[in-house]
Amino acid sequence: MSTPISITVNGESRRSQASTIADLVRELSLKPEKVAVEHNGVIAPRSTLEDVPLADGDVLEIVTFVGGG
Amino acid sequence: MRCLADTAPRMTDQPKISPEASSDGWEVAGHRFTSRLIVGTGKYKDFAQNAAAVEASGAQIVTVAVRRVNISDPTQPVLMDFIDPRKITYLPNTAGCFTAEDAIRTLRLAREAGGWDLVKLEVLGEARTLYPDMRETLKATEVLANEGFKPMVYCVDDPIAARQLEEAGAVAIMPLGAPIGSGLGIQNKVTIRLIVEGATVPVLVDAGVGTASEAAEAMELGCDGVLMNTAIAEAKDPIRMARAMKYGVIAGREAYLAGRMGRRKYADPSSPLAGLI
Interhelix angle B134-146/B159-168, rounded to 10 degrees, is 20
B contacts of A36 (beta carbons < 8 Å): 66, 109-113
Out of A35, A38, A68, the one facing B64 most closely (by C-beta) is A68
Question: Alpha carbon of B153 to those of B139, B166, B218, B243, B270: distances in Å?
Answer: 12, 9, 17, 26, 45
* Cα–Cα nearest to B25, from B253, B243, B209, B241: B253
How far apart are the C-alpha atoms of A54 and A24, rounded to whole Å? Answer: 9
Catalytic pick among B16, B87, B120, B150:
B120
Give the pLDDT of chain B (277 residues) as one tens digit per residue.
444 444 444 444 445 554 444 466 999 999 999 999 999 999 999 999 999 999 999 999 999 999 999 888 888 888 999 999 999 999 999 999 999 999 999 999 999 988 789 999 999 999 999 999 999 999 999 999 999 999 999 999 999 999 999 999 999 999 999 999 999 999 999 999 999 999 999 999 999 999 999 999 999 999 999 999 999 999 999 999 999 999 999 999 999 999 999 999 999 999 999 999 9
- What is the SS3 assignment for B28? strand
Pick among B46, B104, B109 to test the A interface (most A CBs inside 10 A): B109
Beta strands in chain A (DSSP E): 5-9, 12-16, 36-39, 42-44, 59-67
Q: Is residue B57 exposed (0-12), middle (13-18) or buried (19+ Cβ within 10 Å)?
A: buried
Which of B85, B109, B181 lies closest to A63 in CB terms?
Answer: B109
- CB spacing of A63 vs B180 below 8 angstroms: no
Interface ipTM? 0.93
Residue B54 in contact with residue B233, Cβ under 8 Å?
Answer: no
Contacts of A62 in chain B (CB under 8 A): 68-69, 71
Q: What is the pLDDT of residue B6?
A: 46
The CATH class, in words, for A5-64 is alpha beta
User: Residue B276 — φ and ψ, nearest 5°?
Assistant: -60, 140
Q: Which of A26, A28, A65, A66 to mutate to test the interface with B (most CBs of B within 10 A)?
A: A65
pTM of the model: 0.89
What are the C-alpha distances in Å from B50 to residues A66, B74, B78, B82, B92? 12, 21, 12, 8, 16
Cross-strand bridge partners of residue A8: A13, A59
Residue B81 contacts residue B58 (beta carbons within 8 Å): no
Which pairs with CB-CB distance under 8 Å and at least 24 residues apart come from B145-149?
B145/B169, B145/B170, B147/B108, B148/B117, B149/B107, B149/B111, B149/B117, B149/B119
Tell me whether residue B120 is one of the annotated catalytic residues: yes
